[in-house]
Amino acid sequence: MERSIRRSSQPQNEILKGTLDMMILRTLVGGDAHGHTIAKVIEHTSEDLLEVEQGSLYPALHRLEDRKWLSSYWGLSENNRKAKFYRLTAEGRKQLVRETSRWRQMTRAIGLVMGEEGGAQ
Amino acid sequence: MIWFRFLRRKNSDAELQAEMEAFLAEETAENEARGMSSDEARRQARLKLGNPQKVRESLWVQNSPQLLTLFGRDVRYAFRTLGRTPGFSIIAVSIMALGIGATTSLFTIVRAVLLRPLPFRDPGNLVMLYEHYRQNTGGDGFNAVAPGDYRDWRSQTHSFEDMAAMRGYGGIISGVHSELPEVVQSAGGSANLFSLLGVSPVFGRTFTEAEDQPEGQPVVLLTWNLFQRRFAGDPSIIGKQVHLDTIPTTVIGVLPSWFTYPDAKIQFWLPYAQTFSPGDYGMHDGHQSMVVARLKPGVSAEAATREVSALQYQIHIANASKPVAEDVWYRPMIDDLAKNVRTPLLVLLGAVGCMLLIACLNLTNLLVARSATRRREVAVRGALGGSRFVLICEQITESLLICLAGGGLGLLLSLVSTYWLAAHWRNLPRAEYVHVDGWVLTFTLALVVAAALLAGLVPAISSTGKGLLSGLRDSSRTVGGSASRARLRKTMLTAEIALTVVLLISAGLLFKSFLHLRTTDLGCRIDHVITMKFGLPEIQYNTRDKVVRFHESLLERLRQLPGVRGAGLVSVPPGAGPSGDRVFSILERPAPSYSLQYDAIALTADPQYFSVMQIPLRRGRVFTEHERLNNDHYIVVSKTFVDQYLAGDDPVGKHVRVGWDTKPEVYEILGEVGDTVNDITKPDPPTMYFPILSGIPDRTSLATIVAHTSADPLTMSMPIQRQISALEPELPVYNALTMDQILGKTSASQGFAANLVLAFAALSLLLAAVGLYGVLSYLTNQRTPDIGLRIAMGAQRSQILRLVLFEGLRPALIGLIFGIAVSALATQLLRSMLYGTRPLDPSAFAGAATMLLAVAVLACLIPAWRASRIDPIQALRTE
C-alpha cells in the first residue's frame, strides 16, 4: 500500500515506483497548487509521457502532508472554484533535495550499467 | 502519528471527497473549453478520475493501522459468536475467573511474604545466625543463640561487617503513677541493631552502647503503633518517663510505622542487655536470642559463618559440661522470616496453579467442541482462500476474550479474597504488605495471555489443520473424520483428571492431619475450663512470702466462687505453645556425656492443678500444701520424662539436679503424672512440674489460672477477674481463653491451609466432572446415528450403556493412574505439613480414587443412559 504503481495499458506511461512523491514535491517548487494542477503540470512537463492516476495522486498528497512535507489550505482555483491547495514546507524542500540527489545517483548508476557513456542525465 | 491519522480518518475521507469533486469540476470545465458537450466533458472527467470509491478505499487503508483493524475485526467476530451462546460464554468466563482469581490471590500473598525484599538497607546482605548442635534431636537444626556466644562472636570475629542481637520479651507498661497498666509484647535489641538494619527513629534516637548494659540507664524505644495508640502521636513524650514492669523508664525515641519486624505485635524495644541479669548476660547455656549479621562486601555468607563457627567450637570445648552448640548455621533473613509459611504458601500456590491448569484444559475442551460444530464454516472459508493464520487468530481472539473477561472478574474476586486470606491467616509474616500492585497486575495479565494461548491454540490449530477440507466431504454419518479430535479431547481430559487426583490426594492428606490435630488427646480436661494469665510485678512481690500469700488467697477466693468447681495455678496451660525448658541430670542415672544432657519443659503448678485438669496420677503422689516456701525441692514428672530419661523405671524418690541461672539445685521426684500436649503439632515433650507455692518471684510470679466451671466457662471470666482486682486492683490479666479456644488457636493455621486446598480440590473435581460430562455427551451426540444403527441391528440397550460408559471411564481410569503416580512424588513435598499421617497414606489415596471414580461414573452415566434410550428410527432419520 505504501507506493501504488500506476497500472496502465501503455507500460511506458507507468510512473516509476517511488518517483511520484518526488515529482509532486518538484512541481510545488513553482508555487502552491491543487491536485488537478499538480497532475496537469506533471503530465505536461513530461510531454504527456507520464499519466498521473488520481487513485495514487490523492493518497500520495495526504501521505506527504502527514509527513509534514506539504501543508494544505482550502482556496479558490483559477476558475474560482473551491479547491484544496498544497504548499511545499521547509522540511519538504529538504526532502526534495535528498530525493533529487538520490534519483541522480540512481539514474547515473543505471546508465552506467546500460552502457551509456558517463551515465544518463 | 498513525493514531492521529487513524482517529481522524473520517475527516480525511470527507476532505478527499471534496477534493475529488473539485478535480471533476476543473476537468469538466477544461474539457468543455476544449469544445466537448457538457455531458461528454463530465463523462471524460469521470473516466480520467477513475473509480472514486477505490481512491477513497486506498486512502482509508493508508490511514488505518493494519494489525489493529484485523484485530478489531476478530474481536467483533468473537463477540458475535460468544453472544450467540451466552450459556457457554458465562460458564467459560466463570471457570477462568475462578482459576485466575485464585492464582492472583495466592501470588499477591507470595509476593508480599516471600518475594518482596525486606524494607531494610541492602536487605540481600542480611543473614540470621543460629547455633547448631551436631547431635540434634528434632527441630530444624536452627537453635536460638546464647547471649555469651553472641558477645564472643561479635568481639572476636571479623568476617561480618557487624552483628546485632535481639530477643522476644514481655512487659507491663503503665503511666508514672502505675495507671492504665497494659501487658504487651516487647523485644530487646542491641545498640547497633537499628543502624545495622538501616532503621532510623522518627523521633529521638536509638540506644547507646552505654545503655546496652545489664544495669544501664533504663530507656525504651516505642514502636509507631504504641506511640499512636497510647501517646496519641505526641512527640513530647520523648525524654519523659513511663513505667515498665513498675521500673521508671525514659522514652528515648519512636520507630517508624513501617518497622514491624520481627512481628507487628511488638510494642516497644528495650536495650538487649537490659533484658538479662548481669549474671546471665555472659551465659553460654541459656538460648533465647536471634542474631542478625550483615555480610561484608565480597565475603560469602558461607565463608563468614565458617569463621564464627570455628569460634563457637572453641566455646563449646571450653564449656564442655554445659549445653553449648558446636556449630553456627546461617539463613538469609528473608527466608528466616517466612520459614513457617513458606511450604504452606508454595503448596497453596501449586494447588491453585493446578486448578488454573484444569480450568484452561476445560476451556480448551469446550472450545474444541465448539470448533467441531463450526467445522463446515471453517472448511468453507479455508476453501475460499481464508489463510490459516487468519483463521487461527480468529479462534484465539475468542479464547483471549474469554480469558480477559475471566481475568477482569478474577482480579475483582482476588481483591476480596486476598484481604480475607491475609486477615485470616494466623501468624502470616508481613501480612500488612499484602496488596495488589503493578507486579500483581502484570502477573494477572501474563496469566490471561498464557491461559488464552494455552486454551485457544490447541483447538485453533487442530480445527484448521490438514483435514480442513475433509469437513466439506464429511457427512454426519461418517464418524471417522472426528476421531482424531475425540482423541485430543480425551487426552486433555486425562490430564485434567490426573491433576484433579493430585489435588484430591493432597487435600485428603492435609485434611486428615488437620483432623488429627483437632482430635489429639491433650491428656487433660478440655470442656468447661477457662484460663487466665497474670504476672505479679516483681518490684512489689519481691519475696517468696508475698507471692505465696497472693497465690493462696487468690485460689481460696476462686474456689469459693459460685460456678467454679475447681481452680488451680500453672505457669503455662496445656496446648498453649512453647514454654521454657531446663537442662538437668539425674543423680541415680548420670548421663554418658554432656551432649546427651537431659532437657525438659519446666512448669510450676499448685497441688490441685492436676485434679482440676484431670491429669492422671500414674505413680507416687503430687504436691501437697507442705511443699511450699523453702521446702520446695520436690518435683512431679510426666510419663514421657520417665520413659525417656528413666527408661520407664519408677521415678519416685529419684533425684534430679536442675541448672537454674546461677547454681544447680537438687530436687526429689514425688510422682509421675500423665502427659499433656504442649504444642499439638509436636510430640509430647518430657515435663517437670515445680511447686508454684515455692513463691520464688522470678519463677512463679507469672501464672495462669485454670478454673473448671459448671456453666459456660466464658461467662466466668468477669467474676474471676473481679476476684483478682479485689486482691490487687492494678494487676492486669490477659489471655482469658477457654481450653477449646487455646486448641483452636494452635490448629487454626493448619486447618486453614487444609480447608483451602480442600476447596480447590473440590472445585477441580467439579471442573473435571463437567469436562467429562461435556466430552462424553458431545461424543454420544456425534455417534447418535452409529448407535441407532447398532440398536436397529439388535444391540441390547445394556450393551450400549456399557459401551458409552466405558468409553467415558477409560480416560478417567488412565488419568487416575497417572494422578496417583504423580501424587506419590508430589506429596513428599507436603511432608513438613503433615501430622499423624504420612505422604503415602493409603486411606487418602483410596479416598481420593473412590471419590473421583464415583464422580466420573456419575458424569458418564447421564450421556450413557441417554445413548441407550436412542430411538433407532429417529436416529437413522436425522440424516
Mutation target among A6, A9, A37, A58 for the B interface, most CBs of B within 10 A: A58
Gyration radius of chain B's alpha carbons: 38
> Apex CA B780: angle with CA B779 and CA B785, to 5°?
110
| Distance (Å, whole) CA B111 – CA A48 | 73
Give the residue ranges of chain B where pLDDT is below 70. Answer: 1-5, 66-67, 136-139, 178-181, 426-427, 464-486, 517-521, 577-579, 590-597, 661-662, 679-681, 735, 744-751, 878-879
Residue with cell 480518518: B9
- Min Cα distance A35 → chain B (Å) is 7
Minimal-distance CA residue of chain A relative to B26: A36
Contacts B50 to A, Cβ<8 Å:
53-55
- The reply to whether residue B59 touches residue A35, judged by beta carbons under 8 angstroms, is no
Phi, psi of B515 (to 5 degrees): -60, -40
Which pLDDT belongs to residue A14?
A: 62
Minimal-distance CA residue of chain B relative to A82: B22
Cell numbers representing residue B458 in the block: 490447541
Phi, psi of B610 (to 5 degrees): -65, -40
- The reply to whether residue B12 touches residue A34, judged by beta carbons under 8 angstroms, is no
Q: Nearest CB to B22: which of A55, A59, A81? A: A81
Which pLDDT belongs to residue A8?
A: 40
Measured CA to CA in angstroms, residue B52 lies from B13, B57, B254, B306 at distances of 11, 9, 79, 85
Give the relative orientation of helices B483-518 and B739-782 as an angle to the nearest 10 degrees. Answer: 170
Number of CB atoms found within 10 A of residue B786's CB: 16
Contacts B5 to A, Cβ<8 Å:
66
Minimal-distance CA residue of chain A relative to B16: A58
| Distance (Å, whole) CA B396 – CA B453 | 7
Contacts B24 to A, Cβ<8 Å:
none
Q: Which neighbouring-strand residues pair with B584?
A: B598, B658
| Distance (Å, whole) CA B747 – CA B632 | 36
In 3-state terms chain A splits into helix, strand, coil percentages (rounded to 5) of 50, 15, 35
DSSP string, B714-773: GGGHHHHHHHHHHH-TT--EEEEEEHHHHHHHHHHHHHHHHHHHHHHHHHHHHHHHHHHH
| Distance (Å, whole) CA B852 – CA B504 | 8
Gyration radius of chain A's alpha carbons: 15
Number of CB atoms found within 10 A of residue B486's CB: 18
CA of residue B598 relative to chain centroid, distance: 36
Measured CA to CA in angstroms, residue A86 lies from A69, A95, B9 at distances of 10, 16, 19
The verdict on whether omega for the bond into residue B262 sits within 30 degrees of 0, i.e. cis, is yes
- Give the residue among B353, B356, B354, B350 at the shortest CA–CA distance from B455: B356
3-state SS class at B396: helix
DSSP string, B488-549: HHHHHHHHHHHHHHHHHHHHHHHHHHHHHHHT---SS--TTEEEEEEE--TTTS-SHHHHHH
- Min Cα distance A42 → chain B (Å) is 15
| Distance (Å, whole) CA B545 – CA B463 | 90
Mean pLDDT, residues A110-120 taken together: 72
CA atoms within 13 A on the CB side of B685: 25
- The reply to whether residue B20 touches residue A54, judged by beta carbons under 8 angstroms, is yes
Contacts B20 to A, Cβ<8 Å:
54, 58
pTM, 2 dp: 0.66
Contacts B59 to A, Cβ<8 Å:
58-59, 62
| Distance (Å, whole) CA B712 – CA B499 | 46
Under 8 Å between Cβ of B49 and A39: no
Under 8 Å between Cβ of B830 and B510: yes
Number of CB atoms found within 10 A of residue B510's CB: 29
DSSP string, B594-627: GGG-EEEEEEEE-TTHHHHTTPPEEEE----TTS
Q: Nearest CB to A81: which of B15, B25, B49? A: B25
Contacts A66 to B, Cβ<8 Å:
1, 5
Under 8 Å between Cβ of B610 and B673: yes
Look up residue B472 and give its amino acid.
L
Q: Nearest CB to B62: which of A1, A53, A84? A: A1
Minimal-distance CA residue of chain B relative to A57: B55
Minimal-distance CA residue of chain A relative to B53: A55
Task: Indicate the pairing of strand B687-691 with strand B634-638.
Answer: antiparallel
- Min Cα distance B23 → chain A (Å) is 5
Residues ≥6 apart with Cβ < 8 Å to B825: none
* Sign of the CA dihedral running B73, B79, B81, B84: negative
Exposure of B597 by Cβ count < 10 A (0-12 exposed, 13-18 middle, 19+ buried)?
middle
Minimal-distance CA residue of chain A relative to B18: A83
Q: Is A48 on the interface with B (CB under 8 A)?
A: no
Which pLDDT belongs to residue B649?
A: 83
- The reply to whether residue A35 touches residue B23, judged by beta carbons under 8 angstroms, is yes
Where does A11-89 sit in CATH, by number?
Answer: 1.10.10.10
Minimal-distance CA residue of chain B relative to A4: B58
| Distance (Å, whole) CA B700 – CA B203 | 38
Under 8 Å between Cβ of B603 and B579: yes
Minimal-distance CA residue of chain A relative to B66: A1
Task: Sketch the domain layout of chain B as residue ranges.
Answer: 2-64, 65-123+340-474, 144-324, 502-521+740-879, 537-730
3-state SS class at B683: coil
Measured CA to CA in angstroms, residue B46 lies from A53, B17, B24, B98, B163 at distances of 12, 13, 7, 62, 91
How many angstroms separate the most distant Cα atoms in chain A? 51
- Min Cα distance A33 → chain B (Å) is 12
- Min Cα distance A81 → chain B (Å) is 7
Measured CA to CA in angstroms, residue B202 lies from B229, B257, B573, B857 at distances of 16, 9, 40, 66
A vs B, Cβ pairs < 8 A, gives: 62
At A38-75, the pLDDT tens digits run: 888 888 888 888 888 777 888 888 888 888 899 988 88
- The reply to whether residue B5 touches residue A66, judged by beta carbons under 8 angstroms, is yes
Q: Is A63 on the interface with B (CB under 8 A)?
A: yes
Query: What ipTM was estimated for this complex?
Result: 0.75
Q: Is A77 on the interface with B (CB under 8 A)?
A: yes
Q: Nearest CB to A62: which of B12, B22, B48? A: B12
- The reply to whether residue B23 touches residue A62, judged by beta carbons under 8 angstroms, is no
Look up residue A53 and give its amino acid.
E
- The reply to whether residue A58 touches residue B19, judged by beta carbons under 8 angstroms, is yes
Cell numbers representing residue B79 in the block: 463477540
Q: Is A3 on the interface with B (CB under 8 A)?
A: no
| Distance (Å, whole) CA B727 – CA B49 | 110
Phi, psi of B59 (to 5 degrees): -70, -40
| Distance (Å, whole) CA B820 – CA B829 | 15
Q: DSSP code of B145?
A: B
Residues of B with a Cβ under 8 Å from any A Cβ are: 1, 5, 12, 15-16, 18-20, 22-23, 25-27, 29, 48-51, 54-55, 58-59, 61-63
Number of CB atoms found within 10 A of residue B515's CB: 16
> Apex CA B136: angle with CA B133 and CA B139, to 5°?
110
- Min Cα distance B62 → chain A (Å) is 7
Exposure of A39 by Cβ count < 10 A (0-12 exposed, 13-18 middle, 19+ buried)?
buried
- The reply to whether residue A58 touches residue B50, judged by beta carbons under 8 angstroms, is no
- The reply to whether residue B61 touches residue A55, judged by beta carbons under 8 angstroms, is no
Minimal-distance CA residue of chain A relative to B4: A66
Dihedral angle over CA of A34, A35, A36, A39, nearest 10: 120
Contacts B23 to A, Cβ<8 Å:
35-36, 54
Task: Indicate the pairing of strand B687-691 with strand B655-659.
Answer: unpaired
Residues ≥6 apart with Cβ < 8 Å to B390: B70
Instruction: With residue B248 as reference, give the H or E element that holds it.
Output: strand B247-254
Minimal-distance CA residue of chain A relative to B62: A1
3-state SS class at B78: helix
Which pLDDT belongs to residue A2?
A: 37
Q: Which neighbouring-strand residues pair with B210?
A: none
- Give the residue among B537, B540, B529 at the shortest CA–CA distance from B567: B529
CA of residue B819 relative to chain centroid, distance: 24
pLDDT-based confidence at residue A18 (cuts at 50, 70, 90): confident
- The reply to whether residue B55 touches residue A54, judged by beta carbons under 8 angstroms, is yes
Residues ≥6 apart with Cβ < 8 Å to B326: B132, B133, B134, B312, B313, B316
Task: Sketch the domain layout of chain A as residue ranges.
Answer: 11-89
- The reply to whether residue B58 touches residue A62, judged by beta carbons under 8 angstroms, is no
Which pLDDT belongs to residue B250?
A: 92
- The reply to whether residue A84 touches residue B18, judged by beta carbons under 8 angstroms, is yes
Mutation target among B62, B63, B69 for the A interface, most CBs of A within 10 A: B62
Q: Nearest CB to A54: which of B5, B49, B62? A: B49
Q: Is A13 on the interface with B (CB under 8 A)?
A: no
